[in-house]
Each structure stands twice: as C-alpha cells, then as structure tokens.
Structure 1
C-alpha cells in the first residue's frame, strides 16, 4: 500500500482536500501522494519533484501549491502528473492506496451545488477507503474541532466503521458520536404495528448499538462516547448529528445493501450533503467492509 493519495485539479477546493489529506497522512504516519490527472498529456508521468520538463507549467504550479498546503502538517509529500481522465487515474491510484481523498467539486463546480462527477465516481469505484472533503467556506476550509460521527447500520458494516472512527477520535482527542437510525414504511409498518409494539422495536435497535459498541470503551478508554438512536431517515439523522462534527464515518453499504453494489444509498447521498469530510470505509480489496 502506498499511503494516502489525494487528487487535485488546481482549484481551491482541491487545495483544501490536499491540506486535509496531509493532516490525515501525518496522523496515520504514512506518505501522501498528490496526483493530477492531465487529460491533455501525451504519456507524461512524473513522480515527486523530479518531474520532466514536459509537465505543463500550470500543472507544476498546482501540484506545488497542493503539496505546500499538505506539507503544513509535516506529512511526507510527493507529487505526480498522470495522463488520463481524473476518474480513471484516481481509481487506478486507489488500487495501491490505503486511502483516497478528493474534494467534492473542482473547476466548473459551484458552491451550493451537488458534488461533482469525479468525487461521486471515485467514491463509488475506488478500491480503498475514500474521503470526500466538501467545499465549505470562502476560501474552502475543513473543520478541525467537534466529534467524529460514526453512522452504524448493521452488524456487518458497524465493526469496521466503529474501529476506524474510534482510532481517529482517539488520535485527535475528541469524542465519538455513534449514530443509528431506523425507520419503517409502507406494508412493513402496517404489519408490524399489529405484531410488535414500537417500543419493543426501539429497544431492539438500542440493543444493537450497545452490542456494536461492546468492548470499545476498554480499547479506547480516553474516547468519550455518545450514543444516538433515533427513528427516521438515516441520511437526515446523520446530517443532523454531523452539523458540529469534523468527520463522518460510514460504510460503503448499509442495511439492505445489494451484494456486488459499489455504494449504498446513504453513503451516496452523504457525498452530496455532508457538512464536513466524509470517510467511506472499504477494505483493502475494495469491497465494502
């Protein structure tokens, strides 16, 4: 694995993503690779600061600016200009990365609009965990205070999400907020109302969260934990709980996820609306954990 990779395009949003990636690489104790995908390049490929003279001057400047933003956090930074579309280049980079970081939009994106195609495709098809850093503020910035929010859905996805979230919260010295929501609709709701009291359903959901968190306080004794179990839309509840957060951590697929699917609906919607960086957890092979 090659550590953390961040994709840049010369925009302020991309520089902000590079700065976040630099801080995360430093936290992880690993290297950061800043990558620009040049659709106009003719076979140009350079690593580090030993780039070929063929690299276009604006690209060199963008790479250097992003590397400088990341370097403020003392991460070991190298840069690369690769030919090809951003989607293809970043997905290829993810095959050997521990973490891929992208801004939610770049050139051609406008504040207030949904995340761009590159961010969505990278998050959907990457072979490693992905962080999408949103365009927040002017100039763009990322939050450096507040809790880490972990969205937990089912037993299969909860364990890796919580492990990743607890590790980050411990390193940052901030609380962890474990959020779980549940909802019933349509025929399921009508049938269950006659079979199981809503209070019993709510109690079962609280037990799920308690079981998912079992053992974590012993492994991470310095991380305060807040449990939030609510009825309602997973996306809406997570967005509510993320308003004061500095990171949201979710699985690539949640409850009801289809085998072989690349990204669940909750993760996909959060890419567009999360108010802080969003970490989508995948295993090393690229399969949802």
Structure 2
C-alpha cells in the first residue's frame, strides 16, 4: 500500500475528485489519502493579523468534510478492499499537497467551472499542483452532468513525438489496461493553426501524414508489445493539438498529456497544450511530469 493516491478535499471541489480518486485507488490496488487543510493566521497566504474568529469552526468543518469524503469513497469500493487515511493539516493547501506529492503515486485535485472567469483560470489550489507536483496530477471537474467514475469511452493520450511524452504514454497504456478499454493516441504534426499561416495550403499533407503516422507508430511500438490486450487507435492530425485532444476527450473517460510539450523551455513547467486542456476538458485529465 505504499505510494498512495492523494486527493485534496475542500468545500468547493471534493466530491467528484474523491469519487474518481477512490476508483483509481481500487483499480491500482493502492491506498487512498484524503487531505483537508485548515488555514490559520500566519500560515501561508493568511495575514498574521487576521482575526482568530474568522477561522472559528474551521477544524470541525474540515473533519465533517473528511468524514463525508470517506463515506463517498466507500460507496465506490462496493465490498472491495480500500485502505483510506484521512489527514487534517494546518497551513496552506498548496504546500501541503506538493509535499505529499513527493511520496504519492498520483495527486488528485478537483476544480469548478462556473462562468467566463473560471473558464480562463483554474483556482490556485488546482493550478499549482498541476505545474509543480512531483507525481502525475489528475484534475477532475465538479460538473453536475458528469459522473467521472461512470464515464464510458476510451483513454486518450497526447503524443508529441519527443521524449517528454513518453511518461504520458506509459501511464495512458497502464490506465487503458486497468480499465480494459481502447487507447486513442493523438499526434499533431504542428502546434500552430496552419490555416492562419500563409502558403500552408500548398504543403503536401499526404506525404507528411505518412511520415508522422510512422513516427507515431514508433513512439507507441514498445508499449504495444508490453500491453498486447490494449487496442490502440492512432490519430494523426495536421495541427492544433489542444483542439484535437479536446475533441477526442469529449467521448473519453480519461485524457492523459505531458506537462511540457515539444516546444517547452526548460523553465516552463506547463506547456501551452496541457495548460489549455486543464481549462477546457470535462473528462478527468492527468498531467504527467
């Protein structure tokens, strides 16, 4: 039961994230750690002069949330074995989750999407772990019409043809095998929208597609041998990887991408494609370091 699945629990994003994390833990034979963090004056992001009364009842609320989250996780188990640990910490959620990511198999965070502002930026408790965690991070949206543990469809993975996407491919094959579903591997030749580039209509796409299809097959070859029961559906497109991954994610139960794409600089922790997808996909998204 080493390397648990860790999920952040708060009043805004807990339920769908907990449900998904519990199912993931059961699939992997891992333990589940529920983490709720209560702020105090002087803790990160909280002025030391903040009135103590502001936090009155916070500990009790946190314990109630954790008990609720554990009950939700147990409904997913349905008689199967799942070790659940509840942790109530004092401080700031982001440092706590990042510290726990060092020994976690996966970190799961929830996020909402209500209006235009929320569509443009994830809350800091979700965004910071995606960019800085030491393990894969699953982002699970809290949407009323989506039950993440009941979503049918394949696993989708983004393949950019570089070494940076190999860890994402590894995890995507593993997830598809655990779920006994197909794997859709999406590879885009260009990161930009070619329709906006002058003269792009003149390039020989058929020739490029043949070459890029071969490159995609090469990226997947070793994994296909390791997971012979996983049916792979390769998809090669000319451009706009975020757009095409989002399109395939509409009918997927999970989307897996690397944290930094082929054009990322060493100091850039989150590539443009993964950053865009964290804002816009409805299915659970795993971002892999």
Alpha-carbon distance in structure 2 between the residues aligned to 1:215 and 1:235: 25
Compared with structure 1, are the counterparts of its residues 213 and 202 closer, same or farther at alpha carbon in structure 2 (3 Å cutoff)? same
CA distance in 2: counterparts of 1:126 and 1:216, whole angstroms: 25
| Match status 1:174 vs 2:181 | yes
- Say if 2:75 is the partner of 1:69: no
Q: Does 1:238 find its partner at 2:245?
A: yes
Among 151, 160, 180, which residue is 1:153 paired with? 160
Matched, 1:218 2:221: no
Aligned mates of 1:170, 1:5 — CA distance in 2: 22
Alignment check: 8 A CA contact 1:120 1:268 kept:
no
Check conservation: 1:178, 1:228, Cα contact below 8 A.
yes
CA distance in 2, matches of 1:101, 1:233: 27
Contiguous gaps of at least 5 residues in structure 1: 44-53, 283-289
After superposition, residues 110-149 of structure 1 pair within 5 angstroms as 110=114, 113-114=118-119, 115-138=122-145, 141-142=147-148, 143-149=150-156
> Relative to structure 1, is the Cα distance of residues 185 and 22 closer, same or farther in structure 2, using a 3 angstrom cutoff?
closer
Instruction: Indicate whether 1:20 and 2:25 are aligned.
Output: no
TM-score (structure 2 length as normaliser): 0.83
Which residue pairs with 2:50 in the alignment? none
Q: For residues 185 and 266 of structure 1, do their structure 2 counterparts lie closer, same or farther at Cα, with a shift above 3 Å needed?
A: closer
Partner of 1:30: 30
Q: Distance in 1 between matches of 2:107 and 2:158?
A: 20
TM-score normalised by L of structure 1: 0.83
- Root-mean-square deviation over aligned CA pairs: 2.5
Partners of 2:261 and 2:224 lie apart in 1 by 24
1:157 deviation in Å? Answer: 2.4
Unaligned runs of 5+ in 2: 44-56
Residues 1:9 and 2:10 aligned together: yes
Shift of 1:38: 0.6
Matched position secondary structure for 2:76: coil
Provide the C-alpha distance between the structure 1 equivalents of 2:42 and 2:36, rounded to a whole number of angstroms.
14
Aligned length, in residue pairs:
265
Moved over 6 A (4+): 191-194
Partner residue, 1:203:
210
Structure with a larger share of its residues in helix: 2
Pairing 1:98-109 to 2, within 5 Å after superposition: 98-105=105-112
Matched residue SS, 1:56: helix
Helix, strand or coil at the partner of 2:219:
helix
